[in-house]
């Protein structure tokens, strides 16, 4: 079985609420695994709250290494049972 590749949503430079709106759009488009890149500190709260409200899972929150620029990678698993 092959490993599922995440959809990449790069919202570095965007401010609240744009990163979480982009995450929701990627989920609505059918992505089941999403890596959201964001550098807005409010994204920590927004992504966690969105996952809780929609029944999806924030699998990880990883600061990006310096060579990839500033920001955080949020890996979100979209539940098959969550509304899209």
pLDDT for 77 equals 98
Say what percent of the chain tops pLDDT 70.
93
* Buried-state track 18-57, b at ≥16 Cβ within 10 A, e below 16: ebbebbbebbeeebeebbbbbbbeebeebbeebbeebebe
Domain 7-77 CATH superfamily: TusA-like domain (3.30.110.40)
Q: What is the pLDDT of residues 22-54, one digit of tens each?
A: 999 999 999 999 999 999 999 999 999 999 999
Domain spans, the chain: 7-77
Q: What is the pLDDT of residues 46-79, one digit of tens each?
A: 999 999 999 999 999 999 998 888 999 999 999 9
How does residue 80 score in pLDDT terms, banded at 50, 70 and 90? confident
Say if CB 28 and CB 84 are below 8 A apart: yes
Say if CB 72 and CB 56 are below 8 A apart: no
Q: Is the pTM of this model over 0.85?
A: yes
């Amino acid at each position: 079985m092959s490993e599922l590749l995440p959809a990449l949503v790069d919202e570095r430079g965007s401010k609240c609420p744009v990163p979480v709106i982009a995450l929701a759009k990627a989920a609505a488009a059918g992505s089941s695994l999403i890596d959201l890149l964001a550098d807005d500190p409010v994204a920590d709260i927004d992504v966690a709250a969105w996952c809780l409200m929609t029944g999806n899972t924030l699998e990880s929150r990883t600061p990006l290494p310096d060579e990839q620029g500033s920001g955080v990678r949020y890996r979100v698993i979209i539940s098959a049972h969550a509304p899209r």
